[in-house]
Amino acid sequence: MDGKALAERVRAEVAKDIEELGRPAGLATVLVGDDPASEIYIKRKQEACREVGIEPFDHHLSAETTEEELLALVGELNADDRVTGILCQLPLPDQIDEDRIIRSIAPIKDVDGFHPFSAGHLLQGSPTFVAATPAGIMEILREYEVELLGARAVVVGRSNIVGKPMALLLLAEHATVTICHSRTRDLAAVVREADVVVAAVGRAGMITGDMVREGATVVDVGINRVEGKVVGDVAEDVRGRAGLLTPVPGGVGPMTIASLLRNTVKAARYQAGVLAFPLD
Ligand code: NDP
């Protein structure tokens, strides 16, 4: 399943949406410290913004930034009308309480969808902003017409940013969902039952061919650096078993960025009043 090609189409749609909106949209990106991977992600997100007509506002703070300093910056961004969406790149340095920062972002600007307000609305089936990675995966599954109604779906990983929202989105499409994690007994047996597998662990090649039912749809979220190469959580030999498979790179990654852009358009619509934002 070609996430790169789909993402290109989504970006073209977003560019049109932004033009039609007729008012400027801006995405504030906040990066604390000098993690090279985070720097690459931020750069890609900013480039994607520019391409579709969203203005990126770059905030790169030192690794020594305190929690209070970061809270003050988020407060300024919340109040700034030029800033449609706020993205705080994770992970944050140890001296900063990540959850507290996430909670400080105005829910109407929470384009990452990590705020408990956004997560709660997703849980209750009336989403505002859905986390970009699982949202992008749902778009890939729709594009390839993967049957979810009544399907058995297994999500490996239970993080707040990928695994849990992924499971909720599959459930909303009427899949029968199982969530696996590091304490799951006999992971292979559980995964083997699945029509749709989403691997979001962060361990190179942990889903192997013998764990995958013939013809199953496999989504590889993992980003692992092995000997200078980026590989997913899904081993090479799954290719011969899966009916449909997302590659790494070129699968979930590009769609994550495309979904972030879609969320920024949604934020702009909420803020323009053309879409009603649910009051908390
Ligand atoms: P986390 O580290 O937050 O979560 C990993 C999950 O995997 C945890 O729930 C953990 O279980 C589970 N796990 C760990 N070991 C095992 C095991 N042996 N068997 C079963 N489950 C296991 O990671 P994220 O959710 O943030 O990210 C997952 C992967 O996706 C990473 O490689 C990350 O880089 C990638 N990613 C890719 C994105 C993209 O755009 N393509 C975006 C976001 C993430 P437990 O809860 O019990 O510890």
Per the structure, how many domains does the chain have?
2
Asked if residue 115 belongs to a domain, the reply is: no
For residue 115, give both structure tokens: 């705020």
Residue 56: give the domain boundaries. Answer: 11-108
| In a shared domain, residues 180 and 144 | yes
pLDDT digits (tens, 9 = 90+) for 99-126: 999 999 999 999 999 999 999 999 999 9
| In a shared domain, residues 144 and 240 | yes
Decide if pLDDT at 280 tops 60.
no
Decide if pLDDT at 14 tops 60.
yes
Instruction: Exactly one of 112, 195, 220, 233 is catalytic; name it.
Output: 112
Amino acid at 132: A
Decide if pLDDT at 279 tops 90.
no
| In a shared domain, residues 45 and 99 | yes
DSSP code, position 203: -
Amino acid at 131: A
| In a shared domain, residues 99 and 148 | no
The residue whose CA has the least distance to atom 1 of ligand 1 is 159
Cα gap 250→158, rounded to integer Å: 23
Report the pLDDT averaged over residues 251-274: 98
| In a shared domain, residues 49 and 161 | no
| In a shared domain, residues 139 and 215 | yes
Report the pLDDT averaged over residues 191-206: 98
More confident residue, 116 or 280: 116
Atom of ligand 1 nearest to the CA of 181: 21
Q: Is 112 a catalytic residue?
A: yes
Residues 6+ apart with CB under 8 A from 210: 188, 237
Asked if residue 199 belongs to a domain, the reply is: yes
Asked if residue 273 belongs to a domain, the reply is: no
Q: Is 17 a catalytic residue?
A: no
Last residue of a domain, one of 44, 73, 108: 108
- Give the rounded percent of residues in the chain with a pLDDT score beyond 90: 99
Pocket around ligand 1 at a 6 A CB cut-off: 133, 156-159, 161-163, 180-184, 187, 200-203, 221-224, 252-253, 256
| In a shared domain, residues 141 and 91 | no
* CATH code for the domain in which residue 155 is found: 3.40.50.720
Instruction: Exactly one of 45, 109, 164, 266 is catalytic; name it.
Output: 45
Q: What is the dihedral of CA 123, 125, 126, 130, to 10 degrees?
A: 60
Q: Which of 275, 278, 279 is nearest to 17 (CA)?
A: 275
**1, 160, 182: residue to mutate for ligand 1 pocket, most atoms within 8 A of CB:** 182
